[in-house]
Amino acid sequence: MIDITLENFESDLMAASMQVPVLLDIWAPWCGPCKQLGPVLEKLEAEYGGRFLLAKLNADDEPQIAGQFSQMFGVRSIPFCVMLAGGRPVDGFVGAIPEAQIREFLDKYVMPGDGLMADEPADDVDSVDEAGADGADPALAKLLEAIDRDPSTDEPRFELVKLLLERGQVEAAQAIFEPIAAKGTGPVPDRRVQAFGMYIEAAVVAPSARSAAELDAAIAANRRDFDARFELAQTHFGAGRFTHAMDALLEIIMRDKAWSDEKARKTYVGILEVMSKPVVREPKRAPGQPGQPGGPGAPGGAPGQPPKLEVAGKVEVQPADPVIDAYRRKLSMAIF
């Protein structure tokens, strides 16, 4: 278990979630349900044996981070738990819900103990279907079902591509992406399709790139060796190390914005698009449910306590990710 602050937000939370799912528990000392939920989460972290990490954020000490997550999900109550994977928030729940429900939530994102491991690549897309069909991988099954249910909606396909690339299953990701690949070309390309095409391309070329030591040596010898810098960025991008890739690209952009038809800037923007979460709709919760006004998760607002919080109703928001926002600012500063 780790405590999250502004200082370690990126290194211990966002970067860690690139390697293993991280469940962030947003709590406060005055919150009774938070005290009930905390020990349950700690117990589950131990039982799951490292298949997910538990992080805790004191909302009173870090209101900026807590507020950003609240805005992202349309939630104004604690305890509030956010699941992060692949360097971004993907889901959450509110209130001190029963342990069985927490397990169901975790099992959507946490690899099963005896299931398909991240370093076991699939031979082709058929293995993706088989993994989802037999129930061995709930995350794959959920996404495959969403694609089958509505093939015209691209977002489940993007999520599946990302999941497969995170697991090193590049050929399977290519097969899933192929039906929509053409949308990323032409006079008016779909920017999101284009971005995921870049992600797949980086994953394809990364294994044949020079080693990090060789690239670092080339860059040290010539700070304007943009080919080496871009190759380094591609290796990070292909491996899902998005912030490392953008840092390498930023070095090119700051020195030569127009290099290679603005390839560095375009790739940087593509990475931001891959990291971004589309507009989401938060379902309305009934009064009395954990976290709702009158429910067990709603603080009472008594004297000396923070203002009363509540869960927003049905809302549509553009998620705000502090890491994405920070890297957008870096790009703006480099360009302008």
**Judgement on whether residues 43 and 128 belong to the same structural domain of the protein:** no
Residue of 13, 22, 31, 111 with catalytic role = 31
**Judgement on whether residues 225 and 211 belong to the same structural domain of the protein:** yes
**Judgement on whether residues 33 and 100 belong to the same structural domain of the protein:** yes
Environment class of 336 (CB within 10 Å of its CB; exposed 0-12, middle 13-18, buried 19+): exposed
- How big, in percent rounded to 5, are the helix, strand and coil portions of the chain? 55, 10, 35
* pLDDT top residue among 92 and 294: 92
Q: Tell me whether residue 185 is in a domain.
A: no
CB 87 within 8 A of CB 275: yes
Residue type, 330: K
pLDDT of residue 89: 84
Quick one: pLDDT band at residue 122, thresholds 50, 70, 90? Answer: very low
Region 70-93: mean pLDDT is 85
* pLDDT top residue among 178 and 131: 178
Range in 3-17, 47-61, 148-162, 273-287 the model is least confident about: 273-287
Which among 128, 152, 127 has a CA at the least distance from the CA of 142?
A: 128
pLDDT of 135 strictly over 60:
no
Region 110-138: mean pLDDT is 50
Listed ranges 25-34, 66-75, 111-120; the one with the highest mean pLDDT: 25-34
State which H helix or E strand residue 123 sits in.
none
Residue of 34, 111, 125, 253 with catalytic role = 34
pLDDT of residue 55: 94
pLDDT of residue 278: 67
Q: Tell me whether residue 192 is in a domain.
A: no
Region 295-319: mean pLDDT is 39
The CATH number of residue 216's host domain is: 1.25.40
pLDDT of residue 182: 93
Full-model pTM: 0.55
Q: Tell me whether residue 310 is in a domain.
A: yes
Active site (annotated) includes residue 34: yes
Give the pLDDT confidence of 147-203 residue by residue, as tens digits. Answer: 888 888 899 999 999 999 988 899 999 999 999 999 998 888 899 999 999 999 999
Give the pLDDT confidence of 212-263 residue by residue, as tens digits. Answer: 999 999 999 999 999 999 999 999 999 999 999 999 999 999 999 999 999 9
**Judgement on whether residues 267 and 307 belong to the same structural domain of the protein:** no
pLDDT of 138 strictly over 70:
yes
Q: Tell me whether residue 238 is in a domain.
A: yes
**Judgement on whether residues 104 and 6 belong to the same structural domain of the protein:** yes
pLDDT of residue 126: 54
What lies within 8 Å, CB to CB, of 137 at 6+ separation is 111, 112, 115, 116, 131
The helix/strand/coil state of 273 is helix
What lies within 8 Å, CB to CB, of 39 at 6+ separation is none
Mean pLDDT, the chain, rounded, equals 81
Please give the Cα distance from 4 to 142 (Å, whole number).
30
pLDDT of residue 129: 56
**Judgement on whether residues 249 and 299 belong to the same structural domain of the protein:** no
Q: Tell me whether residue 284 is in a domain.
A: yes
Scored b (16 or more CB within 10 A) or e, 166-197 reads bbbbbbbbbbbbeebeebbeeeeebebbbbbb
**Judgement on whether residues 15 and 99 belong to the same structural domain of the protein:** yes
324: which 2 tokens?
A: 């994405």
pLDDT of residue 150: 86
Q: Tell me whether residue 225 is in a domain.
A: yes
Quick one: pLDDT band at residue 320, thresholds 50, 70, 90? Answer: low
pLDDT of residue 170: 92
Q: Tell me whether residue 100 is in a domain.
A: yes
Give the pLDDT confidence of 82-111 residue by residue, as tens digits. Answer: 998 877 888 889 999 999 999 999 988 887
**Judgement on whether residues 26 and 74 belong to the same structural domain of the protein:** yes
**Judgement on whether residues 260 and 284 belong to the same structural domain of the protein:** no
**Judgement on whether residues 244 and 313 belong to the same structural domain of the protein:** no
CB 237 within 8 A of CB 267: yes
CB 234 within 8 A of CB 245: yes
pLDDT of 146 strictly over 80:
yes
Q: Tell me whether residue 167 is in a domain.
A: yes
E-assigned strands of the chain? 2-3, 22-27, 53-58, 75-76, 80-85, 88-94, 280-282, 310-311, 315-317
**Judgement on whether residues 10 and 88 belong to the same structural domain of the protein:** yes
Active site (annotated) includes residue 81: no
Region 11-29: mean pLDDT is 88
pLDDT of 283 strictly over 60:
no
pLDDT of residue 70: 84
Region 109-132: mean pLDDT is 50
What are the helix (H) ranges across 21-62? 32-47
* Structure letter (DSSP) for residue 55: E
The CATH number of residue 63's host domain is: 3.40.30.10
Residue type, 114: D
pLDDT of 115 strictly over 80:
no
Please give the Cα distance from 240 to 220 (Å, whole number).
24
**Judgement on whether residues 271 and 210 belong to the same structural domain of the protein:** yes
Please count the structural domains in the chain.
3
Residue span of the structural domain in which 172 resides: 121-180
